[in-house]
Amino acid sequence: MEPGGAGRAASADCRGPAGGGGVRREPRPLTPRQEAVLAVIRSWLAERGHGPTVREIGERVGLSSTSSVAHQLGRLEARGLISRTGRGWSTCVLVEEQPAQRPGLRSRGPGAGSDRYGQRSPL
């Protein structure tokens, strides 16, 4: 090793909490602009069956810069709220939100009340 300390491993205080697990944080809420963009996409898909273009989204939410719209779309995609089926943003679709499962509650979905072989349990 060099005398100046170069080449040494980073000290423990630079690597975060012990164990490397880190702290789980709740996701930040959507910004008003992200909510507006998501609402435009949702209504556009319901009305027309396909996603709006970047310019169409910009017109509806008051953004003249297509780069700003693309940035908002990228943030929504990174959060898993939308995804694209093709290369362009007009192919975006809403990602189905999975209902939050609460501990201690049994599922009422398909297969609820059945035993492990798929047969209904006698009541």
**pLDDT greater than 80 at residue 102:** no
Least confident of 45-59, 62-76, 104-118: 104-118
CB atoms within 10 A of CB 92: 24
pLDDT mean over 85-114: 66
Q: Which residues pair with 120 in a beta bridge?
A: 114
CA proximity to 82, closest of 71, 67, 69, 93: 93
Is the pLDDT at 86 greater than 50? The verdict is yes
Residue 14 is inside which H or E element, if any?
A: none
Query: How many percent of the chain have pLDDT more than 90?
Result: 41
CB–CB of 110/91 below 8 Å?
no
Residue indicated by tokens 């700003």: 68
Rounded distance between C-alpha atoms, residue 40 and residue 31, angstroms: 14
Contact of 93 with 82, CB cutoff 8 Å: yes
pLDDT for position 98: 53
Matching CATH number, 32-94, of 1.10.10.10, 3.40.50.11290, 3.90.550.10, 2.102.10.10: 1.10.10.10
Q: Give the residue ranges of DSSP H helices in the chain.
A: 32-48, 54-61, 66-78
**Residue 18, pLDDT score:** 52
Q: Which letter, b or e, does each residue of 36-52 get, where b requires 16 or more Cβ atoms within 10 Å of its Cβ?
A: bbbebbeebeeeeeebb
- pLDDT tens for 43-63 read 999 999 888 999 999 999 999
